[in-house]
Amino acid sequence: MANVELQYLTHPQFTWVHAVKAVKDGSTVGSVMITEKRDGSIYLSCFSVNEKFRNQGIGRKILQFTKSKYREKKISLDTNKNYQAAYHLYLSERFKVTKDGKCYVKMGFEPNK
């Protein structure tokens, strides 16, 4: 499992946009963007890990760290079942499919469920 430092970043201009990034030896190797929605929940987008560093547990660390920052919040995201690693990871982190569309799936995580 890769040893990375996880950083929570606030946007310099926007109060509702944040990010979590994973840093290894001074370089960013993965990140996710976090947007706060009007209903108080959060929405994740642009989740990715540098290709060279995939399958080392970094994506899971990013997701778990993000969940720990928003303990009481519902989390949603859009993805695609063809993104097999991402889909597997979301399911194993207790995200559930909330809408199964033709080209995408909506998934949600609810704390305590």
Quick one: 13 or 103, whose CB is closer to ligand COA?
A: 103
Half-sphere exposure of 105 (CA within 13 A, CB side): 17
Q: Closer CB to ligand COA, residue 13 or residue 69?
A: 69
- The distance of closest approach from Cβ of residue 98 to ligand COA in the complex, given in angstroms and rounded to an integer, is 14
| 5-8 long-range contacts, CB within 8 A, separation 24+ | 6/61, 6/62, 6/65, 8/65, 8/69
User: Strand pairing partners for 38?
Assistant: none
Q: Catalog residues that contact ligand COA under the rule CB under 6 A.
A: 47-49, 54-60, 79, 83-86, 88-89, 92
Q: Which is nearer to ligand COA, 10 or 80 (CB)?
A: 80
- Closest contact distance (angstroms) between CB of 67 and ligand COA is 13
Using the minimum distance from each CB to ligand COA, give the nearer residue, 15 or 33: 33
Residue showing the smallest CB distance to ligand COA in the complex: 59
Buried b or exposed e, range 53-72, using 16+ CB within 10 angstroms: beebebbebbbebbbeebee
Q: Least distance (Å) from ligand COA to the CB of residue 112?
A: 23
Calculate the CA 10 to chain-centre distance: 15
